[in-house]
Amino acid sequence: MSGPAVMWFRRDLRVGDNPALLAARGAGDGVVPLFVLDPRVWDAAGPARRAFLVGCLEALREQTDGALLVRRGDPREVVPAVVRETGAGSVHVARDTGPYGRRRDEDVRAALGAEGDVPLEEDGTAYAVGPGRVLKGDGSPFQVFTPFSKGWAQHGVPDPASRPRSVPWVAAGGADDLPAAPDVDYDLLPAGEEAALAAWRTFRDERLDGYAEERDRPDLDSTSRMSAYLHLGCVHPRTLVKEARAHGGEGAEAYVRELCFRDFYADVLWHRPDSAWEAYKPDLAGMEHDTGAEAGRKVDAWREGRTGFPVVDAALRQLLAQGWMHNRMRMLTASFLVKDLHQRWQVGARHFLRHLVDGDLASNNHGWQWVAGTGTDASPYFRVFNPVTQGHKFDPHGDYVRRWVPELRGVEGSAVHEPWDLPDGLPEGYPERVVDHKAERQVALDRYAAVRG
């Protein structure tokens, strides 16, 4: 009866600390490692996302002694087909808690059921504490971060699962749809589980202690850069929580809090799948947004980093160049799009998701909602980031701007944040400001006032 078990990797591209893999190993006669390249996901990804994913799949293939099977297609068809081909008795996954993944997995489960009662077994999630687990005393979900974080701490983060000493990988034959990595000419993070753990340990040993102090500085290499690894599951957050806590200190505490935030937003999305693309709180539904050709040109300038505000442009160019942006810069560029250019937050959320290697539906879209004031813990409407002030505050020497905006490299010190005030005028090639920040701030405040009526 037995046959092998299929380990269907999704956002858990690792061998260590992987409960679903342990279950697969125990369930069948050998493990068929499978990744399904879903066109729905692949086609929406920009070059950086694609390159990073391919790199992680190559690394996983190496870890599975070359057995990793990559098939392109709709999982609803591919997974049952692989089960048929291999005679597998079960399929193992980590629970996907996002709206698309939940629907997809229901369909796959039904298809497998029709295929001779092959079970889809779920073990673990991509979060330190699985979405839906932390509840208020009355059994309802939290809607505010701070109380959630207390409940989260009380619930406790489980210890990492053991790393299997060996796995009897089974190579299924057939087509190999692992794409070649897109040719991108920038420094991409080194991909895969080993790279993730190495990067984590370097961060822990060298920068974690300073994290609370320096994490807001895009000009320094002060953050962990774990987001992309966490997104694809090259490392599991409970490993980071455990090691950060063992390390101790203020920096570690601040870091664990950020991991808790990631869990919070996943939890919110779990309870409110509609909040991925619609306002969590509908209060601002009637808000006026800018449309038309002129607005479109400004949005294009924003996407390409040509707004004329140096630190905003630096961040948006970094996003296109690296597929990554510092968190504070995400807030700042988001505030600029929503409050200076008066766009719907969804416009920016889509752009970020396409390009960020860590682009995560829950964290990204709820972050945008926070900025727009439609999310949990809604940002007070009057909180409008000033792109010049933020530049001086968080890029005090202007190094970050000069790194990403070559037109301003000749400008020394923090003067880069106000190039329109330079004695020799605006450096050649650098654009004029697309808006008057002070005026647009007032427009934003007026529109909020109108909607609150």
Partner DNA sequence: TTTTGAGTTGTTCGA
Partner DNA sequence: GTCGAACAACTCAAA
Question: Residues interacting with DNA, by CB under 7 A?
Answer: 136-137, 140, 142-148, 150-151, 216, 258, 261, 327-328, 331, 367, 370, 376-377, 379-380, 382-386, 389-390, 393, 437-438, 441, 445, 449
The Cα–Cα gap between 181 and 232 comes to: 16
Helix runs in 91-175, H state only: 99-114, 145-155
Other Cβ atoms closer than 10 A to 69: 26
Other Cβ atoms closer than 10 A to 289: 13
Edge-to-edge strand list for the sheet holding 90-93: 69-72, 31-37, 5-9, 90-93, 120-122
Lookup: tokens for 190: 């080194």
In whole angstroms, the minimum distance from the beta carbon of 437 to DNA comes to 7
In whole angstroms, the minimum distance from the beta carbon of 401 to DNA comes to 16
Q: Looking at the DSSP assignment, which residues form a beta bridge with residue 39?
A: none
| CB closer to DNA out of 346 and 379 | 379
| CB closer to DNA out of 327 and 346 | 327
| CB closer to DNA out of 394 and 430 | 394
Surface-to-core class of residue 52, CB atoms within 10 Å of its CB (0-12 exposed, 13-18 middle, 19+ buried): buried
Amino acid identity of residue 452, one-letter, is R
Q: Which residues of 361-380 are buried (b: 16+ CB within 10 A; e: fewer)?
A: bbbbbbbbbbbbbbbbbbbe
Surface-to-core class of residue 431, CB atoms within 10 Å of its CB (0-12 exposed, 13-18 middle, 19+ buried): middle
The CA radius of gyration of the chain, in Å to the nearest whole number, is 23
In whole angstroms, the minimum distance from the beta carbon of 58 to DNA comes to 32
In whole angstroms, the minimum distance from the beta carbon of 144 to DNA comes to 4
The Cα–Cα gap between 76 and 38 comes to: 10
Q: At what angle do helices 387-394 and 310-322 cross, to 10 degrees?
A: 70
Listed residue (365, 258, 366, 327) closest to 319, CA to CA? 327
In whole angstroms, the minimum distance from the beta carbon of 395 to DNA comes to 13
| CB closer to DNA out of 100 and 261 | 261
In whole angstroms, the minimum distance from the beta carbon of 151 to DNA comes to 6
In whole angstroms, the minimum distance from the beta carbon of 417 to DNA comes to 12
Lookup: tokens for 348: 């920016």
| CB closer to DNA out of 44 and 450 | 450
In whole angstroms, the minimum distance from the beta carbon of 403 to DNA comes to 21
In whole angstroms, the minimum distance from the beta carbon of 343 to DNA comes to 19
| CB closer to DNA out of 111 and 362 | 362
Listed residue (313, 322, 358) closest to 340, CA to CA? 313
* Residue where the block lists tokens 């037995």: 2
| CB closer to DNA out of 144 and 285 | 144
Q: Is the dihedral of CA 55, 33, 41, 160 positive or negative?
A: negative
Q: Which residues of 173-194 are buried (b: 16+ CB within 10 A; e: fewer)?
A: eeeeebeebeebeeebbebbbb
In whole angstroms, the minimum distance from the beta carbon of 221 to DNA comes to 18
| CB closer to DNA out of 18 and 149 | 149
The Cα–Cα gap between 437 and 340 comes to: 6
| CB closer to DNA out of 18 and 307 | 307
Q: How many helices (H) and strands (E) are present in the chain, helices listed first?
A: 19, 5
In whole angstroms, the minimum distance from the beta carbon of 281 to DNA comes to 8
The Cα–Cα gap between 263 and 130 comes to: 8
| CB closer to DNA out of 176 and 436 | 436
| CB closer to DNA out of 71 and 417 | 417
